[in-house]
Amino acid sequence: MTERTDTPTGHWIDGEVTPAGSAETIEVVNPANGEVVAETPAGTPADVDRAVAAARAAFPGWAATAPADRAAVVRRIADGLQARVEEIARVITAEMGAPLTLSRAAQAGFPILVARSFADLAADFAWTEEAGNSLIVHEPIGVVGAITPWNFPLQQIMSKVAPALIAGDTVVLKPSEAAPLTARILAEVTAEAGLPPGVFNVVYGTGPVVGEAMSAHPDIDMISFTGSTRAGRRISAVAAETVKRVALELGGKGALVILDDADLPEAVEVGLKRVFVNGGQVCGAWPRMLVPRARHDEIVALAVAAAARYTVGDPNDETTGVGPLASEAHRQKVEGYIERGIADGAKPVFGGPGRPEGREKGAYVRPTIFTGVDPDSAIAQEEIFGPVLTIIPYRDEDEAVEIANNTMYGLTGGIFGEPGHALEVARRLRAGQVDVNGGEWNPLAPFGGYKQSGNGREFGRLGLEEFLETKSIQR
């Protein structure tokens, strides 16, 4: 049996647990075994109204707080999260199935780095600027509605909450109903850090109810959303009625281009990790590996050998490399794509349909590598969001760039090759972030997409500017 986590008994509004307006609840299910680990309230539009009213009332005082003082609170929030890293990691593993080692290092660790990076930015940010006879002032936008996904639950929350707080905004958060539990931990930490009541609020619930109410709410000045492109389109349409700002970080179908002068074993190792980590449930993954035609078979052999070193199993086992997917519904979706790939003529050289051996229970799929993939087929064009890699050969670099850019997405990409050569090719990719030779993640670098991968940027100076209005004063 799975030990139940602390179940939120109400929303977090105006600095305290507030009873929900409805008795209806939503079960949080451990995807490793199908057991219910917690329940959250099913929020209503009335709950959203109460949270927005609290955020609106708290806004003048928080906006008037000096940026240095706002940054100090965010640093204390980061310290509070650091003190609860192990708890956070275990909660995330229970609610969405990330291997515990990943939960400690990334799921719990990255949000702390993000919070501290934004706190550091506050000191050097140009809150006011001179331009001729004008004073340009950067001011908080107001009440921010943050709607976050389940794949990196706390990381995605902090990517929005930290810059919003630094900017002087107040926040109403709707965490994913599938992975909502760290939102309560964060709420408790914000109170302990001295954040004034009403500055940060949490309303649990579904997208069609709570998310829709937030997107339409006339007293929410901005929606910051991370999730599917389909949901992003809906949020944009609803939010347009009140002409609020909308920042969207949506789907991806990144390509890793391996050049002929690349270190092939390193390129394949890094590329496969970007597909298998977190069960492939990463918008910035590289599920398409584009390889020189003459090196295709060599690279396939390296990929299959590397894949065999990933252990699929219990996410609480320290040796597990790939845990369950986040839900049974998502498992069925990914399994459907694997079956679709075979039906369309692709060949699974590793994995394939069906559950991994010994994993008849839980939301497990077999990590899969396909060859013989048509670049225009469903598995090469659509976001699978699972541990599925397609290896696609190219004739020359022009074709490689054409294939890489030939999807509706433009979130991330990767290049492996001689550094100068790889940089030249990286400039040709239509993606918001491109890594050369496995460049490390940088919380100061902007992240966001071209095309239908969204608009706006997260992290760094540009990520802070998303949450600010700009005023010019002529003198």
DSSP SS3 for 392: strand
Any idea what the Cα angle at residue 16 is, between residues 15 and 20, rounded to 5°? 125
d(CA 418, CA 398): 17
d(CA 448, CA 23): 38
The amino acid that residue 420 corresponds to is G
Task: Please tell me which residue in 95, 177, 249, 383 is annotated as part of the active site.
Answer: 249
Which residues lie closer than 8 Å to 182 by C-beta, 6 or more apart?
Answer: 88, 91, 92, 153, 154, 157, 175
- Strands across the sheet containing 347-350: 347-350, 368-371, 388-394, 288-292, 255-258, 412-416, 433-436
Helices 419-426, 397-405: crossing angle, 10 deg rounding? 40
Which residues lie closer than 8 Å to 105 by C-beta, 6 or more apart?
Answer: none
Q: Transcribe 319-358 into DSSP letters.
A: T-SB---S-HHHHHHHHHHHHHHHHTT-EEEE--SSPPTT
208, with CB counted inside 10 A (0-12, 13-18, 19+), is exposed
Which of these, 386, 132, 344, 94, lies nearest to 251 by C-alpha position? 386
Answer yes or no: 283 catalytic.
Answer: yes
d(CA 203, CA 148): 12
Listed in order, strand segments (DSSP E) in 20-133 are 25-29, 36-41, 128-131
User: What does the block give as tokens for 192?
Assistant: 């302990």
d(CA 280, CA 300): 19
Answer yes or no: 177 catalytic.
Answer: no
Beta strand pairing call for 468-474 and 134-140: antiparallel
> Cα torsion at 195, 199, 203, 208 (round to 10°)?
-140
Task: Please tell me which residue in 3, 130, 139, 283 is annotated as part of the active site.
Answer: 283
Which residues lie closer than 8 Å to 347 by C-beta, 6 or more apart?
Answer: 370, 371, 372
Please say whether the dihedral angle defined by the alpha carbons of residues 103, 107, 111 and 113, taken in this order, is positive or negative: positive
The amino acid that residue 101 corresponds to is T
* C-alpha dist (Å) from residue 470 to 62, 127, 168, 300: 18, 10, 13, 51
DSSP SS3 for 240: helix
Active site members = 249, 283
